[in-house]
Amino acid sequence: MNSTIKDIQIIEIPRVHDERGLLAVIEGATIPFDIKRVYYLYDVPSDAFRGGHAHKELNQLIIPLSGSFDVHLKDGRDTEIVNLNKPHKGLLIVPGIWREIDNFSSGCVCLVLASAKYNEDDYIRDFNEFLAFKKA
Ligand code: TYD
């Protein structure tokens, strides 16, 4: 699995703006996978730590619908921290990237669009196992 931090991108979600507010739309070519699952985190304590795993095949787009949080990314060699704080900017995380999420703002809502249904077998929850997976 040779994905790297460089494969991770911020995706700008197209918006329609008029005097009634903003409407953001995700469809078709906005994201490079078909959405098979949607879930969201809310009522997250500010000192919570989420993630702490990688996926073997799953692609995800993480969107801070409200508030902000930090996503720490690791590819086994390089590390990057991305602060997500705009509801029209999502973070595309490809398979084979370790992620940890913290520094949740009060009342924050984190929306996740995923390319497959929930499957625990797709998770790597041990960091050493992740490093071995990256070397394989
Ligand atoms: P997990 O993916 O570890 O959460 P996070 O990365 O936000 O820390 O999932 C937490 C728990 O919820 C775990 O027991 C699996 C379960 N879960 C589902 O049942 N369905 C899902 O779609 C997701 C994402 C998690």
Query: Which ligand 1 atom sits nearest the alpha carbon of residue 99?
Result: 6
Angstrom distance (rounded) from CA 39 to CA 67: 16
Q: Tell me the three state secondary structure of residue 63.
A: strand
Answer yes or no: is 2 within a domain: no
Ligand 1 neighbours, Cβ below 6 Å, are: 37, 39, 41, 50-51, 118
| Minimal-distance CA residue to ligand 1 atom 20 | 118
- Quickly count: other Cβ atoms within 10 Å of residue 125's Cβ: 11
Number of folded domains that form the chain: 1
CATH code of residue 30:
2.60.120.10
Is residue 65 included in any domain, yes or no?
Answer: yes
Q: Give the tens place of pLDDT for each residue, 64-99.
A: 999 999 999 999 999 999 999 999 999 999 999 999
Mean pLDDT on 7-28:
97
Q: Is residue 71 part of a domain?
A: yes
Domain extent, residue 97, equals 9-135
Q: Identify whether 1 is part of a domain.
A: no
Tokens in use for 114? 């995923």
- What are the CA-CA distances from residue 133 to residues 57, 118, 124 (Å)? 12, 20, 9
What is the distance between the alpha carbons of residues 7 and 125, in angstroms, rounded to a whole number? 21
88 belongs to the catalytic site: no
> Looking at 17, 53, 72, 88, which residue is catalytic?
53
19 within some domain: yes
Percent above pLDDT 70 for the chain:
100
